[in-house]
Amino acid sequence: MKPERDHLLIGLVSISDRASGGVYEDRGIPALQEWFGAALASPWKMETRLIPDERAQIEKTLVELVDEVGCDLVLTTGGTGPSRRDVTPEATLAVATKEMPGFGEQMRQISLQFVPTAILSRQVAVIRETADHAALVLNLPGQPKSIKETLEGLKDEDGKQKVPGIFAAVPYCIDLIGGPYIETNDAVCKAFRPKSAIRPAGK
């Protein structure tokens, strides 16, 4: 069995032919790093990867981050549209033990608040399990603004939650698959757990 950790280990994977080839600077990983820095109130570390839109390499990277590195949560950006080179969902499903369709449904619901083309997005979420470890793998959009909106949701002018973001459900999901207990900064994203699953602060 892998030893218990007191911190969340996150894998961040940006999938882009041009960014990985040096044509332009990747913006997905920096956007995620900034968001987690503001959103998480408990310890966390990360592993980052910048790779091209190649299905075999995406699959290999996801397997490495979960099975070898031991990430509890893996987030991908890019490669979820309908073009021929967009193969991130297929690669993610190929390494999955369980599919978690609610995440993809909510991501599209959030994006539809802004653009009708959100229905073209094919993001999926899955659980990958090994004999002694499990991780949640989420496909996110590629644009920093969309990444932020997808994770924390939409608020009205008074700061009241209008549309829930997907990250509100992530800490409890990580609990259920045996990962570390995650606490969030409620001003950014309030994690939801059943009362019976809530621990006293700092425990």
Task: Look at domain 8-193 and name its CATH class.
Answer: alpha beta
> What's the confidence (pLDDT) of residue 4?
63
* Whole-angstrom distance, CA of residue 43 vs CA of residue 30: 18
* Whole-angstrom distance, CA of residue 135 vs CA of residue 34: 22
Assess contact for 69 and 37: CB atoms under 8 A: no
Other Cβ atoms within 10 Å of 4 Cβ, number? 8
Return the closest-CA partner of residue 151 out of 39, 14, 62, 37.
39
> What's the confidence (pLDDT) of residue 3?
47
Q: Which amino acid is at 79?
A: G
> What's the confidence (pLDDT) of residue 20?
78
Those residues with Cβ within 8 angstroms of residue 105's Cβ, 6 or more apart along the chain or in another chain: none
For the chain, the structural domain boundaries read 8-193
Query: Mean pLDDT of residues grouped by 10 in the chain (203 residues)?
Result: 74 88 83 96 97 96 98 97 96 98 96 94 97 97 92 86 93 97 94 94 64
Q: Could you tell me the CA-to-CA distances from 25 to 20, 74, 98 in Å, in that order?
A: 8, 21, 33
With residue 8 as reference, give the H or E element that holds it.
strand 8-15
